Structure formats: C-alpha cells, structure tokens
C-alpha cells in the first residue's frame, strides 16, 4: 500500500513541450540532427562582468543573504530601473529566486485558494504550475494571431471578471507571442484595474527585447495605480543568465511587499553568488544589450519571413521577446511537431517546434499554431525555417493535399 499523492500534484499539467523530448531524443539516436525552435535558452554569451563576478567571489563563508535580497543588488536595481524611467526605491524591491518565484509570490499575495486571475492566452505555460501551487484559478482571455495577439476590447476583458477575480497577469513583451502592448492597451488595463479594484501583474522579463525602436510600457510607468501594480522581472533573458535564478518582484504597494517578506523569510534568501553577479551585470555597457537587440531583431526578421513563406500561415510581425506564435495550415500542432521529429528530415536535419495548444488555457484553442523561439544564429535559423516550410508542405501532401486556408498570409 502507498499513501496517495495529492490531487493537485497529480493534476498539475506537465510542460506541454516535455512529452516531445523523448521523441527528439529518439530522433537524435537515429543520427538525425534536431534544430531546436522549441526552447527559450538564449545562445548569447553572458556578459563578462557577470561571469567575472562569480569567479571573483571571495567570501570565506557562503552565508545567508538578506531575505529581500542583497542590499547592494537592490540598490543596483534601483539604478537599472531609473534608466528605464521607472522610479522605485530599494524598499519596493523583493529579490526572488528567478522570475519564477516572483510569479508564485504574486499569486500568493493577491489571491486566496479558489480566487481567479485573468491571463491573456496564449500565455507562458509555467503560470499554470504556480497557479496550482497557490491554488489560484487562471481564467484565460483569448487573443488571436489575426490581431497580432493584442488585447481584445475592454468589454471582452471585463466579461471575464467575477467576484473571485483578484487581478490580471500578462507578460509584456509577451511570451509566447512577442506582442508588445501599446500605451493605449496599458491604459485600458489601468482603467479596468482601477474600476474593478484589481491587481495588475506585469511580467516584464523581456523588457529590453523590443524591436523596430519600440519601448514597452511598464506597469510601473502608469500613474495613479501604485497599490495595484506589481512588476515581475528576471535577469535570465536580459543577461543570458537563465541558470542564475535571480529575479525580483517590484511594487509600490508596501503592505504587499511587507506581507511577501514573511514568505521570503520562510525560504531564507536567493543564492548569494548569483546576486553578486547580477549586481555586477547592472552596469553592463549599453553596447552589450544594443548588440543583443540588433542580433535578435535580425533573427526575428528571418523567423517571421520564414513563416510568411509558408502558404496559409498567419503571423503578424512580433515586436518583442524572442518568440512568435504562427498559425500554420495544419490540423494539429502536436501531431505535426511529433511527425517532424519522427518522419521528416532534409539532409538528415529536422526541426523541433513547440505546439501552441499548450500555451492556451481554453481547451481546443491553438491547435493549428506553433511557437517558434528564434534563439539560434542566423545561418542555422534560415536553414531551420526552410526545413519547417518544407515540412509543412510534405506533411499536408501526405495527409491528402489539404489546401492552405484562404486567410491573408502576410498582414503586416
């Protein structure tokens, strides 16, 4: 006899990409080269000053740091945010164990078990895991490829609000869609938050990843909603330091920060060495991030153009992050992704994509969509896009020549 595992732990959804991992491994074992468009691990080198700070760590005891984060790092963050027009104090900042813990903390502080948070879909799937931990129900708000995944009208958003709704969570720039909300969209969210007394939780880990000169509006740029605004952040993407696990939660709502400090104290502190490194990274020269943005903008163009060459594909050119969601002339992204790994190759190479259905909370949505991460250097990315286009063609031929949909292929 074995005691029963909790219902929540049994029911929480596994990463939607994970079930494809053994299939990719099997492909590799057959000697096939798999190009990964499915994951968001950047290949950009971590800034030297960050790695140097790790190598220079010279304490004799690797001791606990402050539960709110090292004072030195919080002060550095104040400078960083000031450069982005965000005026906050150290006291507004709680350093977290990656952006991940910032999400969990946001859920814990804003809702009780059974409360609801509205999240535009498709959304970062790991929100589901933290919602399960915190007992929060995510209420998806559908956005569409045809609209470039911008927000629907105010009435549609308000129609999702119930008496259990405590807030709205979104990522901006958006994972998985690459959308950057306009100032007007942010002002609309602000109006809703004020009128309905909701928290606005803005996941801004892709802040720098904005193309064509766009600048995302932070939730902390908005005036008059100080107690409502919670910003979630991370060094993972900005400094190509995903393994550092250093993030933060920023809010001018000091009661919220004070409440969360109790949870922060329970888990003691984020890792000391990486916080020191993150502090050093703050003064990374602009040339580093400018170079990164220029590089990603080129990749974004290659990826988007590659999608647009697939007859029937729908994808507005995304403005930010390093993903896009493309609607493809396929029935089932899950089956297609599997087929690409098991049955298709060009010169012994194939491509792994992330079926987008897993990024939706509404069952049945996104079945003809895939998420592509453009975190590969140009040459490989171009090749990957050609393989993907060919893959869609052959896949449909094998399935009886399904015609591309009549939707307009390039909308921008």
Q: Which of residues 244-263 bind a second copy (CB under 8 A)?
A: 244-245, 253, 255-256, 259-263
Q: Which residues, 6 or more positions from 69, have their beta carbon under 8 angstroms from its beta carbon?
A: 93, 94, 95, 248, 269, 270, 275
Instruction: Select from 85-93, 137-145, 265-273, 349-357 the region that touches a second copy (CB under 8 A).
Output: 265-273
- How far out from the chain centre does Cα 143 lie? 16
Q: Give the x-and-dash track for 194-223 against a second copy (CB under 8 A).
A: x--xxx------------------------
Q: Output the smallest distance, CB 244 to a second copy, in A.
A: 5
Q: Output the smallest distance, CB 142 to a second copy, in A.
A: 22
Both ends of the chain: CA-CA distance in Å?
Answer: 60
State both tokens at 307.
Answer: 């999608």
Q: How far apart are CA 334 and CA 39, in angstroms?
A: 15
Question: Count of residues binding a second copy (CB under 8 A)?
Answer: 88
Nearest alpha-carbon partner for 360 in 97, 154, 177: 177
Q: Output the smallest distance, CB 242 to a second copy, in A.
A: 4
Q: Output the smallest distance, CB 182 to a second copy, in A.
A: 24
Q: Does 129 bind a second copy (CB under 8 A)?
A: yes
- Run of H or E residues at 96: strand 93-96
User: Tokens 């895939």 label which residue?
Assistant: 370
- Residues present in the chain in total: 412
Q: Give the x-and-dash track for 327-366 against a second copy (CB under 8 A).
A: ----------------------------------------
Is 46 or 217 the residue whose CB approaches a second copy more closely?
46
Q: Does 163 bind a second copy (CB under 8 A)?
A: no
Q: How far apart are CA 225 and CA 7, in angstroms?
A: 37
User: Tokens 């993030």 label which residue?
Assistant: 247
Q: How far apart are CA 251 and CA 328, in angstroms?
A: 39
Is 2 or 153 the residue whose CB approaches a second copy more closely?
2
Among 26, 82, 268, 294, binds a second copy (CB under 8 A): 268
Q: Does 108 bind a second copy (CB under 8 A)?
A: yes
Strand stretches in 204-343, DSSP E: 229-234, 247-250, 323-327
Q: Does 92 bind a second copy (CB under 8 A)?
A: no
Q: Does 56 bind a second copy (CB under 8 A)?
A: yes
State both tokens at 173.
Answer: 């720039």
Strand stretches in 37-99, DSSP E: 93-96
Is 104 or 328 the residue whose CB approaches a second copy more closely?
104
Q: Does 91 bind a second copy (CB under 8 A)?
A: no
Q: Output the smallest distance, CB 131 to a second copy, in A.
A: 9
Is 263 or 405 the residue whose CB approaches a second copy more closely?
263
State both tokens at 399.
Answer: 């399935």
Q: How far apart are CA 48 and CA 70, in angstroms?
A: 21
Instruction: Select from 12-20, 82-90, 149-157, 326-334 the region that touches a second copy (CB under 8 A).
Output: 12-20
Q: Does 369 bind a second copy (CB under 8 A)?
A: no
């Amino acid at each position: 006899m074995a005691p029963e595992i909790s219902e929540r732990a049994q029911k929480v959804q596994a990463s939607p990409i994970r079930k494809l991992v053994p299939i990719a491994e099997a492909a590799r074992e057959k000697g096939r080269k798999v190009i990964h468009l499915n994951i968001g691990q950047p290949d950009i080198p971590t800034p030297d000053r960050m790695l140097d700070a790790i190598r220079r760590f010279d304490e004799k005891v690797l001791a606990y740091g402050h539960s709110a984060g090292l004072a030195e790092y919080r002060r550095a963050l104040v400078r960083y945010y000031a450069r982005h027009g965000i005026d906050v104090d150290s006291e507004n900042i709680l350093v977290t164990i990656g952006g991940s813990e910032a999400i969990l903390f946001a859920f814990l502080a804003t809702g009780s078990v059974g409360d609801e948070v509205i999240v535009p879909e498709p959304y970062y799937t790991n929100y589901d895991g933290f919602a399960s931990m915190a007992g929060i129900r995510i209420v998806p708000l559908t956005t569409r490829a045809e609209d470039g995944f911008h927000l629907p009208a105010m009435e549609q958003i308000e129609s999702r609000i119930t008496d259990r709704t405590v807030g709205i969570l979104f990522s901006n720039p958006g994972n998985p869609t690459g959308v950057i909300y306009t100032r007007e969209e942010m002002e609309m969210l602000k109006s809703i938050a004020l009128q309905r007394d909701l928290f606005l939780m803005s996941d801004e880990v892709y802040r720098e990843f904005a193309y064509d000169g766009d600048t995302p509006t932070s939730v902390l740029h908005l005036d008059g909603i100080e107690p409502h605004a919670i910003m979630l952040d991370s060094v993972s993407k900005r400094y190509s330091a995903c393994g550092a696990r250093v993030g933060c939660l920023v809010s001018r709502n000091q009661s919220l920060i004070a409440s969360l400090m109790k949870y922060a104290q329970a888990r003691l502190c984020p890792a000391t060495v990486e916080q020191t490194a993150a502090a050093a990274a703050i003064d990374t020269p602009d040339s580093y991030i400018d170079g990164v943005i220029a590089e990603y903008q080129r990749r974004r163009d290659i990826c988007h153009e590659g999608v647009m060459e697939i007859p029937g594909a729908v994808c507005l050119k995304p403005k930010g992050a390093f993903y896009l969601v493309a609607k493809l002339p396929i029935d089932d992204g899950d089956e297609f992704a599997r087929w690409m790994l098991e049955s298709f190759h060009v010169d012994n190479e194939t491509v792994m994509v992330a079926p987008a259905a897993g990024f939706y909370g509404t069952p049945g949505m996104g079945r003809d969509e895939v998420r592509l991460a453009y975190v590969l250097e140009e040459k490989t990315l171009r090749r990957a896009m050609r393989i993907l286009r060919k893959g869609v063609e052959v896949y449909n031929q094998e399935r009886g020549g399904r015609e591309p949909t009549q939707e307009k292929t390039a909308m921008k």
